[in-house]
Structure 1
Amino acid sequence: MKLVSWNVNGLRACMKKGFKEFFNEMNADLFAIQETKMQEEQKTFDFEGYHEFWNCADKKGYSGTLIYSKQKPLNVVYGIDGSKYNDEGRIITLEFKNFFFVTAYVPNSQRSLARLDYRMEFEDDFRAYLKKLDSLKPVIMCGDLNVAHREIDLTNPKNNEKNAGFTIEERRKYQSLLDEGFTDSYRYLHPEKVEYSWWSYMFNARKRNIGWRIDYFVISNKLRGQLNDSIIHTQTEGSDHCPISLDIEVS
């Protein structure tokens, strides 16, 4: 199966910057999107052959997740257990015969870490939820997790140790998820490779490749043997994030 994840930072804007062409080129079995920044009823586009599942934030123009799936899932859950975090449209789960597919847009801790406490609560709730799913069948989770795990995952680690996305608190929460039976697919296949998935719009950061790896495919450890490739599509533009994809033998 080919799976894709992309924080588009506004789907309507990204549509004007090559999203449709990339979507069609990838021909993915599952395509997850974060930061749609729109309501479903605002869409003026469709992709033939796909079922679509939207979780839109209550606040218009903010957050939001979306999954396109060629196969109709057995079940769909929005938020955690169908309720928590739906006000910001942060999580969608699709259940298939042999696995769960989850996409998430993890809250940013924001400047001055104003939302760090909220982020920590989210992390604990989300980890417990993924563990529960994993006890039933394997999990493939993807999205913008808003954390660079290790120093190799961003350009200037020393200068960012107290900044959102690289605080010790956020990095420990991500490590806790891995310790509970999950694998960072990209880092598992590419232990020392340096690539990024997000660049600031300021200071020509993308052109200078001053970036962060904060977009992930995380899989249950039991799926490691079925993993073929985990790719960061660094050359694909259209957002301040680039897409990532996963090639895995699961159906």
Structure 2
Amino acid sequence: MKFISWNVNGLRAVLKKDFMTVFKRLDADFFCLQETKIQAGQVALDLPGYHQYFNYADQKGYSGTAVFTKHAPLNVTYGIGQDEHDHEGRVITLEYPTFYLITCYTPNSQDKLKRLDYRMRWEEAFQGYVQNLATQKPVIFCGDLNVAHEAIDLKNDRTNHHNAGFSDAERNQMTTLLNRGFTDTFRYFYPNQTEIYSWWGYRFHARDNNAGWRIDYFITSNDLQPKLLDAKIHTEILGSDHCPVELDTQNLFA
């Protein structure tokens, strides 16, 4: 089974940049998007064989997530059930008989960490949400989690130490999450892989120079490790400031 996650930085924009070609080529069972930046009715996608689910932010042109899947879920929920966190369209959860799939667009702590306090409240709430689901069946969650966990996960770790996405507080939250029974699937397969990233800023020719960050993830319950086959980062795919990331598994329905 193939899972794809991609922060498209505007679905309408990426549709003008060969999104459908990429979508068809990747041919995923589950295709998760973050930062769609749309409202209901603004985009109509012709995706034969796929069920489509969208979560929209209250604010126009901001945030938002989507999931396209070949497999009809048992249930779909939007948000994490906490009003403080459920107005920006950041989470969609699909329930299947043997696992939960979550797409997540984690809030950015912003310049000078001015939204870090909110980010920490989000982390506590979201991790609680995921852990609760994991007591029922294994969880796969993916998306732009807005954190480079270790120094190996970004090009310039020293100069970014106290910046959004690489602050000690954010990194510690990821460590806490993984220690609670979850696997960073890319590092599971490639623990020492360097200089492979999923996001590059638009300034200073960052992508040309590969001055990037690995902030897009597939995280799974540790129980799923025996069924994991591979994890990939599609650095060759353009169209957004992020590139798609992939998780390949055995048939989880078997």
TM-score band, normalised by shorter chain: over 0.9
In structure 1, the residue matched to 2:232 is: 231
Normalised by the length of structure 2, the TM-score is: 0.97
Q: Which runs of 4+ in 1 moved over 6 A?
A: none
Identity fraction in percent: 53
The 2-side partners of 1:185 and 1:177 are apart by: 13
Q: 1:82 offset after TM fit, Å?
A: 7.4
In structure 1, the residue matched to 2:220 is: 219
In structure 2, the residue matched to 1:145 is: 145
3-state SS of 1:66 partner: strand
Q: 1:126 offset after TM fit, Å?
A: 0.6
The 1-side partners of 2:239 and 2:190 are apart by: 25
Q: 1:106 offset after TM fit, Å?
A: 0.1
In structure 2, the residue matched to 1:96 is: 96
1:108-127 equivalences in 2 (<5 Å) = 108-127=108-127
Q: What amino acid does structure 1 have at the position aligned with 2:172?
A: R
Q: 1:198 offset after TM fit, Å?
A: 0.1
CA deviation string 1:87-142 (max 9, x = no partner): 10000000001000001000000001110000000001111111101000000000
The 2-side partners of 1:81 and 1:72 are apart by: 22
CA deviation string 1:177-214 (max 9, x = no partner): 00110000000100011210000011100000000000
CA deviation string 1:55-99 (max 9, x = no partner): 000011000000001111000111003755221000000000100
Q: Do the aligned partners of 1:85 and 1:91 also contact (CA within 8 Å) in 2?
A: no
Structure 1: gaps (5+ residues): none
3-state SS of 2:101 partner: strand
Q: Do the aligned partners of 1:55 and 1:86 also contact (CA within 8 Å) in 2?
A: no
Residues 63/28 of structure 1: CA separation in 2 closer, same or farther (3 Å cut): same
Q: Do the aligned partners of 1:53 and 1:66 also contact (CA within 8 Å) in 2?
A: yes
In structure 2, the residue matched to 1:167 is: 167
Residues 84/227 of structure 1: CA separation in 2 closer, same or farther (3 Å cut): farther
Aligned Cα root-mean-square deviation (Å): 0.9
Q: Do the aligned partners of 1:185 and 1:230 also contact (CA within 8 Å) in 2?
A: yes
In structure 1, the residue matched to 2:208 is: 207
Q: Do the aligned partners of 1:7 and 1:144 also contact (CA within 8 Å) in 2?
A: yes
In structure 2, the residue matched to 1:247 is: 248
3-state SS of 2:220 partner: strand
The 1-side partners of 2:225 and 2:198 are apart by: 22
Q: After alignment, is 34-43 or 211-220 more displaced?
A: 34-43
The 2-side partners of 1:160 and 1:47 are apart by: 40
The 1-side partners of 2:141 and 2:103 are apart by: 6
Q: What amino acid does structure 2 have at the position aligned with 1:169?
A: A
In structure 1, the residue matched to 2:16 is: 16
Q: How many residues are treated as equivalent by the alignment? A: 251
The 2-side partners of 1:142 and 1:45 are apart by: 22
Q: 1:40 offset after TM fit, Å?
A: 2.7
Residues 83/75 of structure 1: CA separation in 2 closer, same or farther (3 Å cut): farther
Q: Do the aligned partners of 1:91 and 1:104 also contact (CA within 8 Å) in 2?
A: yes
Normalised by the length of structure 1, the TM-score is: 0.98
